[in-house]
Amino acid sequence: MKFFVDTGDAAEIRDLASTGLLDGVTTNPTLIAKAGKPFIPLIEEICSIVSGPVSAEVAATDYETMIKEGRKLAAIADNVAVKVPLTPAGLKVCKELSDNGTMVNVTLCFSAAQAILAAKAGAAFISPFVGRLDDIGHDGMQLIADIVNIYNNYPEWHTEVLVASVRHPMHIVDAATLGAGVVTCPPDVIRKLYHHPLTEKGLAAFVDDWKKTGQSIL
């Protein structure tokens, strides 16, 4: 499974990239606003930090403006994935950009039917929002299971399932169990994967026992 971090904070991205665990980055207008930096220079900076896909979202909703924005974003760097909404206009932009070799991330997916449309349009990534579905009483991970199963039936489709709106580590574990190719989550959720009370307890015991030996490795 590939790990993408969902943030516009370049410092966080740089820190996570240094671990070797980071495969890409996703951003959206909300995260860009939170970062408080000019959009295009920020995407340029992020693309210089990571070699994997960096999702940069269009701001328009009509086809004519979206395609212009998409082309401008794609020109920033080879690893930009243009992010478009799962709307008729967005899928039209997806088809055109994908046909010309640009990675496209189709976002705001909430049904398997929508995921089929994105794959047909040539999307590199489909972003189902599991946390937002959970919030309204639906089973977000069941949607992931459905999309993975459908995509597995059609090897000619090359769209990767990018699990988004991830709220906690079990979303990541469940997505991996179901065979999703990518998960994107906030930095703090990635860091929570490290933690287990038995690991911390065991390490504390080992450190204490080593001190009792009075030895030094260095």
Q: Cite the active site residues.
A: 83
Q: Is the dihedral of CA 77, 106, 23, 194 positive or negative?
A: positive
**Closest alpha carbon to 126 in 137, 113, 136, 138:** 113
Q: Is 71 exposed, middle or buried (0-12, 13-18, 19+ CB in 10 A)?
A: middle
Q: Is the dihedral of CA 60, 135, 3, 180 positive or negative?
A: negative
Tokens of 61: 């909703």
